[in-house]
Chains A and B, each alone.
Chain A
Amino acid sequence: MRRRDLLAAIGAASLAPGLTWADARDPAYVSAARHPDGSYRLCGLDRGGAVLFDLPLPDRGHAAAAHPTRPEAVAFARRPGRFAIVLDCARGVEAARLTPPANRHFYGHGTFSSDGGILFTTENDLDTLDGRIGLWDAANRYARIGDIPSGGIGPHEMVRLPGSETLVVANGGIATHPDSGRTALNLATMRPNLAFLTPDGQVRDLAELDPALRQNSIRHLAVRRDGLVAAGMQWNGPKGEDPPLVLLCREGGDRDLLEADPAAHRSLQGYVGSVSFTRSGSRVAVTSPRGGVLQVFDVARRALSAVLREEDVCGLSPAGADGILVTTGRGISGVFAGDTLAAPVTSVWSWDNHVIAVG
C-alpha cells in the first residue's frame, strides 16, 4: 500500500467515539480457551485471573490482540487457521470477522498500531512460503488494506515498540504448508530473525542468531517500555544440545542470550511458549509447557530469580508492577509475585498459549 494512505489510516481510529474497555465489565486480560464441552472461546479475565465473560470462537484460538481504546479483542486462529474474530467485549457479540486472502493463513498473533487504527497480522504466503504482515483498517470494520513482507519466513508473534509505530516480528524461520500439516520443510536451511519494520514495510533492523543457533526458532516476544525486546526460542536442532532460549535485544543495539544454570535450563526442554516482562521491567518471565515450568529472570543481573513448576503452564502477562499473570492448560490462573502463585484460581477452562493484557 502507499505510505500516504497508510499514515491516513493510522490516526483515523481516534475519530471514532464510542465505548471503552470500562464498558466490557473491565476485564484486565483476554485469553483463548477450550471448554470441557469441547468448544473454543475467548474469555475475559479479571486481575486475579477469574473469568468475567466468554464468547464463542469457531475453532481453537491461539493469541489475541486488544484494541488500545475500544473494547474490542481480536482472537486469532491457531496456525494454520484462516479466521480472526473481532469480539465486541461490551456487547458480547462478534463485531467483525477477518479472513485472509485465499493463498494465506494466519500464524496466531497480531498487534495494533499505537492509536488502534490498523491491525497487523502475521501471515504465511502459501505461494512462496514467505512471511507477510497483513494490514486491516480498524476504523472501517477491519477491511483488508494491504500487506508488507515480514522480513523472513514463518512470522509468529509480533509486538510494537512503545511510543513508536515500529513493528518487531519474530520470524521463526520455519517454512510450513498446510498440505503437509505442521511439518518443517526447511530445517536444513532455516534462518530465523527478529525484524524491526516500519508499518510500510521498510526493514529498520534485522537481528539474527549466531549461525550455530540457526535452528533456534524465534517465536515469542515481549517488549519493555524502553524498547528492550525479549524473545523466546524453540530449538529444532538435534535433541540434547540445549542451546540458550531467551534473547534480549534492542533495535540496532546489543544482543544478549539469557540462560539459567544447566539443570534449570534443561527443564525448559528446548521450548519457550510465552514471554512477558513485568510492568516495572525489572523481571522477564518465560514458560515451557513441555517442561511444566515458569522461569523468571532478573533483567539487570541477567540471572534466574524465581521458578514455578506448574503442569502445562504457558500464558503470561504483566500483573501489577512486579507480578506476572500465569495461566495453564489445566485451568489454573493466578498472579505469580515474589516466588509463589498467590491465590490461584482453578477453573474448568484449558487456557490456551497466550493471555493478553487489555486497556
Chain B
Amino acid sequence: MLRFVATCAALALPAATEAQTPSEIVVTALDRHVLPGYAALTEATGALAAAAEADCAAESLDLRSTYHTAFDAWMGVAHLTFGPAETDNRFFALAFWPDARGATPRGLSQLIANADPVVEDADAFATVSVASRGFYALEFLLYDDTVSAAGDPAYRCALVRAVTADIDLTAQTLRTDWEGEFAGLMRDAGTNDRFQSPEEALRLLFTSLDQGLEFTADLRLGRPLGSFDRPRPNLAEARRSGRSLQQVTLSLEALSELASILSAGQPELQAALAMAFDTALDRAAAVDDPVFAGVGDPLGRIRIEGLQVQVGDIRDITRADLGPALGVAAGFNALDGD
C-alpha cells in the first residue's frame, strides 16, 4: 500500500489506520519527502550547470529551461532550512531572497564592472557574498535588462557558468550531507548527541512546515501586496522570470506533501489539512496573474489577498491542531515576543 501511495501525486493521502510514533513519521518524511526532494534537486542543478557550459547566453532557451526546472526542484526542498542547509550558509547561497537592499544586483554589477577573476575558481567563488550566488542571482543574469547586458559578454558568460556550477556544487553537497549523515542522525534520533529524542527531529520537520507557510504568506504574497494604499508589485519574488505565482504554487505543493506525512496518524486532521491546501491551490490557480502585477487593481488584489488568507488558515490549523497532536510545542522563548 505504501509503495502504491508513494507513486501517486503529491497530494495523495497516505493511509492511516493507527497513530504513528514520532520516529515512524520522521522516517517516512525522510524517505518520501526530504531525500527524494534533494535527489530531484541535484539532478536538475546538474542539467543546469551542463546547459550553461554548453551555451551561456542569457537568451539560450536550453539554459533558461533548465533554470526553471532547477528552480522548480529547489521549491520542493526550500522549506527545509535546517541541518545541512544551515552549514556554511548553503540555504542562502542557493536562495538569497528577499533582498530589500538590492544586494544581489549591486553585487553582480560589481563583479561584472571589475571583471573579478573570482569566477575562474569554484572554491574562490564559494566565498563570494551569498547575495551574488544562487537562483535569484542567476535570475538577474538571465532576465534583468540591466545586469544581463552589463559589461563584457565574455565575462558575463564566465559569471553565468560560475553561478550555475556553484548552485550545482552547493546542491550536491547538501544531498551528500543529507544522505551521508544527517538523515541517519534523524532516523536514529534519541541514540545520538545531535537529537536527544525522536520528538526533537520531528520538531524540525514541523517547524519547516510552519515557517514555510509563514514565508509564503508573509513574503511571497505579503511583499508584493504591501498595503492597500501602497501595493508593491516590484517586490514580487522572481518576477523577472515570471515565476512569482509559480513559487507560491510549488511551495504549497511541497508543504502539502509534508503536512500529509506529518498528519498521517490523524486521519481527520490529515483530511482537514488536505482540504485547506486544495482550497489554497485552487485559489492560486484562479489568480491568473503570474507576477502579481495586479496587486494595485482592486479585483486582482482581492484574489491575491484571498490566497494569502487561505495560507494563513492552513497555518492556523498547523499551529493549533497539528503541533499539539504531534507533541511538538514551539519554543518557550521563541513564542514570547518580548
Contacts and interface: CB of A to CB of B under 8 A. Distances in A.
A266 interface: yes
A289 B334 contact: yes
Interface string B298-338: 00000000000000000000000000000000011110111
B219 A328 contact: no
Contacts of B226: 238
A184 to B, nearest CB: 10
B46 interface: no
A263 B93 contact: yes
Interface size class of B (residues with CB under 8 A): 20 to 34
Interface string B139-150: 000000000000
Contact of A314 (B86, B89, B223, B333): B333
A353 interface: yes
A130 B98 CA distance: 35
B332 A352 contact: yes
A289 B338 contact: no
A329 B333 contact: yes
B167 interface: no
A132 interface: no
Interface in B43-98: 86, 89, 91-93, 96, 98
A289 B92 contact: no
B333 A273 contact: yes
A62 B338 contact: yes
Contacts of B96: 262-263
Contacts of A264: 89
A156 B338 CA distance: 8
A240 interface: yes
A129 B129 CA distance: 44
Interface in A51-99: 62, 78-79
Q: Which of B91, B218, B219, B332 has the most CB of A within 10 A?
A: B332
B130 interface: yes
Contacts of A352: 332-333, 336
Interface in A272-291: 273, 289-290
Interface in A315-338: 328-330
Contacts of B334: 289-290, 292, 312, 329
Nearest to A217: B338
B333 A262 contact: no
Interface of A: 34, 62, 78-79, 108, 156, 182, 219, 238-242, 261-264, 266, 273, 289-290, 292, 309, 311-314, 328-330, 350-353
- 10 smallest beta-carbon distances between A and B, as pairs: A329-B332, A312-B331, A240-B98, A289-B333, A263-B92, A263-B89, A314-B333, A329-B333, A350-B332, A289-B334
